[in-house]
Structure 1
Amino acid sequence: MFQLLLLILAGESIFFLPFVLARVFRPTFLAVFEITNLELGTLFSAYGIIAMVSYFFGGPLADRFSPRALLAVALAVTGLGGITMNFIASFAALSWLYAFWGLTTILLFWAALLKATRIIGGEDFQARAFGLLEGGRGLMAALVGSIAVGILAFYLPDQVSPSLAEQQHAFQQVVFFFAGWVILVGVLVGVFLKNSSDTSDDTSKRITWKQLKVVLSKRVIWYQAVIIVCAYVGYKVTDDFSLLASDILGFSDVQSAQVGALALWMRMIAAITAGFLADRLGQSSKVISWGFVIMIFSGLIIGSGWLPDEVPFYYLLSIISTCLGVYAVRGLYFSLVQEARIPLNISGTSIGIISVIGFTPDIFMGPFMGYLLDENPGALGHQLVFLTLAGFAFIGLIATHQFRKVNQ
């Protein structure tokens, strides 16, 4: 359990700088760097393009090297990159930083994290292990994110229109906090995480081209990749929560950040509950289907434009239900590797192949959301974003049905 806690700590901390920062503090982020939603989306695309290549090569890397070394180094260099963020004065330099994070958070980190989690879960507790990983990451993001919101509130009075200088100073303190935290976690992982042992360390067990062809020939791998694409679109839509609170509900920077932090708390509840429920039922895919259904209805409710702007409660309730669906699916989709009976010694490579396809929303979803929001100011842009969520969730539901059919 202590080892899983270390993985939870590492697994979320490394993404604070590239993702949580812009998700929770989106209105402040846009103001400080003086960029549009579309430009923020292109930053995520720079990250996503490098990440796509890194997913492919990171899988075999995880099958050959110690998770402890890979995770510790990744955390340390990601945190150092965060320190430089406060000294960036151009959009081009910010793009290079996001590309750099695409390398450090994925090539060295992602497959190693998931493989170590699969080893801990064993034969009987895969869904629970991945659910606890995602839910624990949600708890970690909520706790640390709430502290960061407190830092922003301390340096930035709770007002609707603070000056740019006030926003910049407050935001710098938040960035320094996140960067220092990530480096500290890297040190803890390097000191305390044990090297997981499995048969893949044997040269004879390492991935071969023949085994790779076998992996690519499995239809369940491709269906799982589609499931992750659709679920990850939902995850990217959570980036819109704080901006929605600002644009539609008229919330201040601090209040909007609090809405973003609320989503992080729901992540913990949804993912852990889904993990225990999936192990009890013996099928992660069944719970994933339910998650997609929730995403469809939540996306249609906000996307329809029926909710009254003057009653924030209805929007907050819809945001909570969206989180339940998104994070339930996100907490379980990699446990499908075990449900599909992929051998452990090639799990890192399998995860890499699935991730290359599954996380393509890192490339296209940011600019697409930015375009919708910039070209359709006000409520309409946000409605179109949530209708997109509902559409992808419907595709994900079909892919999950096909996965279950083929797997059986």
Structure 2
Amino acid sequence: MAISLLLTSLGGIYMSTYPSYLGLSILYGYWGFTTIFLFWAAMIKATRVWGGTSRQGLAFGLLDGGRGLVSFAFGWLGILIFSILFIDGTETASLLERKSAYQYVVIITSIIVALIAILLIFILKDNDSDTARSPKISNRQILKNYIAVLKIPSVWLLMVIILCAYTGYKITDIYSQYANEVMGYSETESAAIGSNLLGIRIIIGIIIGLLADKTRSSFMMIISFAITILGALIFASGQIEPHTTLLFGFTIITVATGVYAFRTLYFSAIQEGKIPMAVTGTAVGLMSIVGFTPDIFMGPIMGILIDNSPGELGFQKVFLMLSIFALIGFIASYAFHYINTKKVSS
């Protein structure tokens, strides 16, 4: 984890130099390696172990709530830096001044990430006795693990669920842009909306986690997809105008509630899906390969839809696409709930 954070911070320093499009493309792939490949599956497995058999929702709720808290803090850090550098507002700032301010944000963030990596080295220590008891796994056993995981229906359903849920999460990237271009908010006000939604994510993560422990993760996923469909269809209908501030606020919170709930639910459902603890890392890796592909295609698709249909129409098409993915996720969640409820009853 420490190495991952250090390498990630180095990527941030490189980004502050404003690299070319090719350089940014390579950097994005590099960050994929440093932030996902190095510890993602291990982090999920560690959270599952900590949650035990009865606190999976709480464990993943605290995990995502904590991640939301950090994202919220970094978001407001960026706004603070911009407000200090642009006392008269960003609207009057030149392009060079904006580039310089953004450079400050990236560099300071990278330094913080590097400092956290150093703290990890000195504060968190591996348990040598646990390490000694962990047997080495042969390549043949790894292959057997993959084959075993692929035979579990819950893994395939979770792949689809994560794919649909993460599509919704990627659309949160345009909330601030929507507020600026459709609602007519200033750049600072629009950025504040994005940061405030990250604050909501903290609360949602913990509440949904507790509810999932009281009910079932799959049941909460069904509800979350239904909420997402409702909010997405309101956006797609074109009923939100610059003067409908309350409707905009209600709808964006509705979509955010449905989308952020999944950050807690889709991995807490691993326990419900009866996926063996021994192959958790393998299962998470396979599910992530499919589930997080929106990182690849959602940016270009949203860009094409918004560029080809300027104004509110482009955003309507984006949210219509979200409603379709949410419907598919709703069906997959129902199937997951049905299969695993049937297993329990039998």
Q: Classify the TM-score, shorter chain.
A: over 0.9
CA–CA separation in structure 2 for the residues paired with 1:287 and 1:198: 36
What secondary structure sits across from 2:179 in the alignment? helix
CA–CA separation in structure 2 for the residues paired with 1:195 and 1:293: 42
What secondary structure sits across from 1:88 in the alignment? coil
**Given the alignment, which residue of 232, 254, 277 partners 2:166?**
232
Contact 1:198 1:345 in 2 (8 A): no
| Residue of structure 2 equivalent to 1:113 | 43
**Given the alignment, which residue of 65, 68, 71 partners 1:141?**
71
1:85 partner amino acid: M
- Once the two structures are superposed, residues 5-43 of structure 1 have per-residue CA deviations (whole angstroms, 9 ceiling, x without a partner) of xxxxxxxxxxxxxxxxxxxxxxxxxxxxxxxxxxxxxxx
- 1:239 positional shift: 0.3
CA–CA separation in structure 1 for the residues paired with 2:219 and 2:50: 23
Contact 2:175 2:194 in 1 (8 A): yes
* 1:93–1:321 CA distance, 2 compared to 1 (3 A): same
- Once the two structures are superposed, residues 231-288 of structure 1 have per-residue CA deviations (whole angstroms, 9 ceiling, x without a partner) of 000000000001101101222221111011011011111111100111112x111111
**Given the alignment, which residue of 317, 323, 330 partners 2:263?**
330
| Residue of structure 2 equivalent to 1:214 | 148
| Residue of structure 2 equivalent to 1:307 | 240
| Residue of structure 2 equivalent to 1:174 | 105
| Residue of structure 1 equivalent to 2:312 | 379
1:134 partner amino acid: D
Count of matched residue pairs: 337
* 1:269–1:200 CA distance, 2 compared to 1 (3 A): farther
| Residue of structure 2 equivalent to 1:264 | 198
Bigger Rg over Cα: 2
| Residue of structure 2 equivalent to 1:28 | none
Contact 2:182 2:241 in 1 (8 A): no
Percent identity between the two aligned chains: 42
Contact 1:231 1:326 in 2 (8 A): yes
Is 1:345–2:278 an aligned residue pair?
Answer: yes
| Residue of structure 2 equivalent to 1:295 | 228
- 1:227 positional shift: 0.3
- Once the two structures are superposed, residues 183-211 of structure 1 have per-residue CA deviations (whole angstroms, 9 ceiling, x without a partner) of 11111222222436489822369944333
Note the residue ranges of structure 1 that are not aligned, 5 or more in a row. Answer: 1-70
CA–CA separation in structure 2 for the residues paired with 1:313 and 1:118: 39
* 1:198–1:336 CA distance, 2 compared to 1 (3 A): farther
**Given the alignment, which residue of 29, 36, 40 partners 1:99?**
29
- 1:77 positional shift: 0.5
| Residue of structure 2 equivalent to 1:363 | 296
CA–CA separation in structure 2 for the residues paired with 1:203 and 1:174: 43
* 1:127–1:100 CA distance, 2 compared to 1 (3 A): same
CA–CA separation in structure 2 for the residues paired with 1:205 and 1:293: 44
Contact 2:145 2:282 in 1 (8 A): no
CA–CA separation in structure 1 for the residues paired with 2:177 and 2:74: 20
| Residue of structure 2 equivalent to 1:252 | 186
2:227 partner amino acid: I
The two structures, once aligned, show a CA RMSD in angstroms of 1.8
TM-score (normalised: structure 2): 0.93
2:32 partner amino acid: G
* 1:204–1:352 CA distance, 2 compared to 1 (3 A): closer
1:293 partner amino acid: A
CA–CA separation in structure 2 for the residues paired with 1:226 and 1:247: 32
Is 1:165–2:165 an aligned residue pair?
Answer: no
Note the residue ranges of structure 2 that are not aligned, 5 or more in a row. Answer: none
